[in-house]
Amino acid sequence: MSTASGLAYFYPEGHAVHVVPHHPETPERVETIQSALDQVGWLKQFTHIRAHDLPRGLLESVHQPAYLDMLEMSCRRGIGYLDTDTYFTADSWRLANQAAGGALAVAQAVWNGSSRCGFALTRPPGHHARAGQGMGFCLLNNIALAAEGILQIGARKLAIVDLDLHHGNGTQEIFWQRGDVLYLSTHQLPLFPYSGNLDETGAGLGEGCTANFPLPPMSGDTAFQQVMDGLIIPLLDRYQPEMILVSYGYDPHWLDPFGSLLLSAAGYASLAGKLVAWADEHCGGKIAWFLEGGYNMEAAQACSLGVVAALIGEPWDDPIGPAPFPEGHSWQHMVERGRQFWGI
């Protein structure tokens, strides 16, 4: 089990200038998490990691050069939008590079053994960013860049587990035809970006290296535990990655304003504990978490403390508790279909 001193931690200094009025992707999303970690006394025990500078070659191994040029030049002009949801400011190019560089630094610290596990408050988030298009509040794909960086220094097989409310369409697309990254996602469907169906499994060398487990509204702790125990863990067993990278969104929590899932913070901590246990047994404990979505600040604190408690082996109690309404049952059909589809 990890210890607090073994956790590599990244906080995006200066991120507060990436902001526009009346938008849900706010600086408070990461500030409230850092404050909670400080209040319980864990923050001072972490190894605080500075972002790596991202070589242009690494950026271009994930994103199209034309998109990178467009994004950089657009940010120089000041505040604007890539689409109706995804804003940028004059500082966003620098801060997006810092977020991705922080993700890479945390991943490398875990990979090379200088830290046992990692937790990166990556902002702007990243898992919707496609190779040639920013979207869904995301500019650069932080976790894809971190994974690619690890692969370039010797990793052969990695797993990305996406536990956000929304499907990580960008991450899926980037690794769609590759066999060196197993992409696993559970998310609400139907919901933006309206991808991540069970039959989306990759192509070419990546055939069978993408697995999606979409959950209907009103799926909660029981559904998530069944997906983890009955689908995600068996596929990790089958693939045997050398490290797990987790796209961490706290928006599956029942308090989140943008979804209809009923996951509790205790449920999230349980999912984290199972992934940590798998990593401890199979890949030397190598696991790192990277922030994606989540828009309720009470849930931000509770879920993040639960995840970090699982990473560092500290006791923790859910201050919010379960959803005050019953979990649905329609998720059971998806789980059964998933087991049949994947031969589990």
CATH number of 11-342: 3.40.800.20
| pLDDT value at residue 211 | 98
Q: Which residues contact 168 (CB under 8 A, 6 or more apart)?
A: 127, 128, 143, 160, 162, 183, 185, 187, 196, 247, 292
| pLDDT value at residue 161 | 99
Measured in whole angstroms, how far is the alpha carbon of residue 89 from the centre of its chain? Answer: 23
Q: Which residues contact 3 (CB under 8 A, 6 or more apart)?
A: 116, 312, 313
pLDDT at 271 over 50: yes
Count of alpha carbons within 13 Å of 209, Cβ hemisphere only?
Answer: 24
From the list 15, 52, 63, 128, the catalytic residue is 128
What are the tens digits of pLDDT across the range 53-82?
999 999 999 999 999 999 999 999 999 999
What are the tens digits of pLDDT across the range 206-234?
999 999 999 999 999 999 999 999 999 99
| pLDDT value at residue 339 | 98
- Annotated catalytic, 128? yes
Amino acid at 176: W
So where are the chain's domains? 11-342
Specify the 3-state DSSP secondary structure of 60.
Answer: helix
Phi, psi of 117 (to 5 degrees): -150, 175
| pLDDT value at residue 140 | 98
pLDDT at 4 over 70: no
Average confidence score pLDDT of the chain: 97
| pLDDT value at residue 1 | 39
What are the tens digits of pLDDT across the range 296-335?
999 999 999 999 999 999 999 999 999 999 999 999 999 9
- Name the pTM for this structure: 0.97
| pLDDT value at residue 3 | 39
Name the strand (E) or helix (H) holding 246: strand 244-248
Torsion-angle region of 147 (φ positive above 0: left; ψ -120 to 50: alpha; else: beta): alpha
Report percent pLDDT > 90 for the chain: 98
